[in-house]
Chain A
């Protein structure tokens, strides 16, 4: 029952074999390479090799330096900001403190002078007489 299919398959297989044999027998001849092709390729590879392998240690060192710089940068910025803040902040001198004290007293007096109405009960809550007992 399989016989006709086998015959057909065999015939097709033979056809394939014949075709492949023809193609292999008459495959186009590959033209020869330029005489210096091998040298050219190896020269290119030497160049590539120098570009990719020789600079590698230098590149790695640069990367390490860059990484260090990256870590150093925030620390340096923070230190600089701290120094700037410390040096730029005005130091309170004794004279300044006296002035501030005088200004505060003057301000306080001005405030209490305007509000020292004996009829004002609300004010009485916040003032006391020297005769008051504690």
Chain B
């Protein structure tokens, strides 16, 4: 999967200019912001929430962003602010994730026995395993792993998005990696 990478320095000033234009009542510049960030937002929400209602979640993020623009501090990074909205949207759907995880755990419990697990695993796609591994993490751990390891955001920015100390990010990242590693190793993947 190719995720559009936004060059931080070049885009920041341009983001601010677009935001200012939006605040003057122009909607067109928001279209640029949408096209610029929809891949990251979509990808993050997908890793955090799964496929169900993904379009609605993306829409929710951008509508919240539009409504919240008057409160956006220009000293902040637009992408950080947007990720934060995405995180809030994902958090609001926490109950849905919990239900999905429950369903997933039931499915895991019904997996075949050790003797035929190896052959079964070969049929599973690694992508599915990663997705399942992410799904079994808590939302807090999953979010840190997705933002830092998959979206390549620095720990400092992850801390800003989640509004937690950087030490908490490090701790959650450690536990998240340990959790997903354990999950993958239990399914025969050597890392």
Contact = CB atoms under 8 A, between A and B. Distances in A.
A44 B59 contact: yes
Contacts of B34: 38, 41-42
A20 interface: yes
Contacts of A30: 1, 39, 42-43, 46
A18 to B, nearest CB: 5
Contacts, number: 89
A26 B167 CA distance: 28
A7 interface: no
Contacts of A22: 126, 130, 184, 189, 191
Interface of A: 15-16, 18-20, 22-31, 33-34, 37-38, 40-42, 44-46, 48-49, 52-53
Given A41-B63, A46-B27, A53-B25, 5 more contacts: A19-B180, A26-B129, A30-B43, A31-B46, A33-B42
Interface of B: 1, 25, 27, 30-31, 34-35, 38-39, 42-43, 46-47, 51, 54-55, 58-59, 62-63, 66-67, 126-131, 134, 145, 149-150, 177, 180-181, 184, 189, 191
Nearest to A48: B66
A53 B69 CA distance: 13
Contacts of A40: 59
Contacts of B184: 22
A78 to B, nearest CB: 41
A45 B27 contact: yes
Given A22-B191, A23-B180, A29-B1, A37 B46 contact: no
Contacts of A33: 38, 42, 54-55, 58
Contacts of A31: 46, 51, 54
Nearest to A46: B27
B154 to A, nearest CB: 14
A48 B70 CA distance: 13
A15 B127 CA distance: 19
Contact of A26 (B46, B59, B66, B130): B130
Given A15-B191, A42-B31, A48 B180 contact: no
